[in-house]
Structure 1
Amino acid sequence: MNITRTAARLFLAVGVVLGAFFSCVYAAQASPSTVKAVPPPPPSSSTTTLAPPPASLVTAKSRARVEPDLDYRVTLSADPGSPRSTQDSTLTARSHVDVGPTPYWISIVDTSAHTYVTRCGSGTVCTASVTQPTPTTHTYVAYVARLSTAIPPHGAVGTSPTVSVTWSPEYHLSLSVAPRDFTSPTARITATSSVNVGPTPYFIEIFNRRTGALVTSCGDGTTCTARVNLPFGNTTFIAYIGNYSDTQPPPGIVATSNRLTVHRLLQPPRPTLRPYGD
């Protein structure tokens, strides 16, 4: 009797274990895992993809003597400092000392992208052209230091002030008139910008080319519309994106529209109808 009870208990325990096992297997197959895979680590930002300098130059400079009394100050400039998107800006680092006979290099670093832009192993001037495809701001620093892949380079003996380059949007502007009767004394004209001027310091402004009068000015959005009164004949309008002004052309122009000429025709007199037979 005891043997029978023991066997029954053992059978029941095995059944519970097997049931739990198959339940877990079914659950794993029926529902997706909520545990996300660990993403790969980002690429190291402390090294540069800049092409390595010639080995002969590296060897020669590694044997150069250190002159501690030299003035290793370095400056950095950018021209232009506010280019349009996709346009180049030239970075120029100037050292007080020709680094050729020294163990040091002039390097320019993009601190926003955490990468080297260029390095020069001789002379006092080191230049590079940089560009960005979309509106953004990048900051740059120049160093006089030994050859290094670290950012900033270890043991720099000269560091320039930070220089910022801001790439602004490509502004485009068009001017159009709504369909109308050519004899109408009014017209609705609209200036359309490729960029919302709201977050910028600029305005969309429409001027009467003949009188020079400001028709309307808009400081937000991509369109600026006005209804204008027309004299007989042709009236030409033009629009600008720039700093606010009530005289044309405004200062700081970044875009100019097409010239739009609107016609107002003299309405011909209606023929007088006479009774038949007169």
Structure 2
Amino acid sequence: MRLRTTATGVLASSVAAIALLLGMAGPTQAATARSAHAVTAGGHGTDAAAQRSAAAKPAPAKDFVGPNVHLGADLPAKAGHQTATASTLAAWTVSLAITVRRPWVGRSTTLTATASADVGPTAYYIRIFRNGSQIASCATGTTCSLSWTENTEMTDSFRAEISNFTRSDVVANDPDADSPFGYQVTWHASTTIDLTANYTSITMGKPVTLTASTFDDVWASPYWIEIFDVTTGTYLTNCASGTVCSVQVSQAVATTHAYRAFVSYSSTAFPPSGTVATSGTSYVTWTTGPTIWQLGLSAPATAYRAVIVTATASLDVGTTAYWIEIFDQESGTRIAACPSSTTCSGTYTPTSPEGNHLVAFISALDTNLPPASIQASSNVAKIALVSPPPR
């Protein structure tokens, strides 16, 4: 028996290409979260109340079984009613509520079946099934509740019914008896994370907000959202809860820094230990001005074959010594290099269902990632490999 209770929020998140920025400055777009911080590069979070300690992370809750719940496949006797077979109510209904549809491995979801009337004075039981096998039943009352935990990644199917002792008379189901599946609950041990910057090219000294977004709330897990300066190996901030974590960075000299976010154990060492998800690398370029190049990168979010990716600059590089270059972050391969115009396109085929990360630069002609003499950096474009459509 595997029983526990907790709650986790699930948020769907996706990556879209950042629109081409034509202005130098603007309001900082810091994302909100239960644990968000504002720091400068090389610093630490200034919001002490939001910076939860490792001890504050919730431990798995104790096993939970509601009142009058009988665990397992057998049933408690119902004196005076057990042999009855006819329904005593014109129309029975039952509903199954599930607190968490995507819990972390080792954490639980709570299942509560609610009947339209008390089954105590009747021949009926409230039953809860997992993958077709009964895991709980109640001979009295209107509710039947317990928590359920899996310790490995898997998907379970749950359903509830009201029926007599032999199940020869099933008077209510949830989901409906015609449904081929029950309610799906998926236990997961990993998640996805993306990192964005509100500006990727900006005047030196000005602040940039980095925002990490995860698919799953990390609160009911042993993991944290952490953001690092990859260029210096410096820890910037972490967040114990939520799906969003932000930090503000700035550089006082003309330079380009790389940043990356992780879902990992709480750690100030780079790379952090216990990592279960890593973002693409976001590059931010601080320049002296007065002209600030802006560069955007667009690509489809999914693809099953080669697609066109396009970088668009705010100025034509043809009259300069610089090129527009596009790179695949995972392989470090340069996809395209263009010596002139405001646009540069290349052909790319994704290789990962989790997504490949692409980035563009205005820089010297260079096959290395990152290239030399960067004048501007783009947003990160993420392309996930998908199956081709049926013919």
TM-score by length of 1: 0.46
Relative to total residues, which structure has the larger helix share, 1 or 2? 1
Higher relative contact order (CA 8 A, sep 6+): 2
For the pair shown, the structure with the greater C-alpha radius of gyration is 1
Relative to total residues, which structure has the larger strand share, 1 or 2? 2
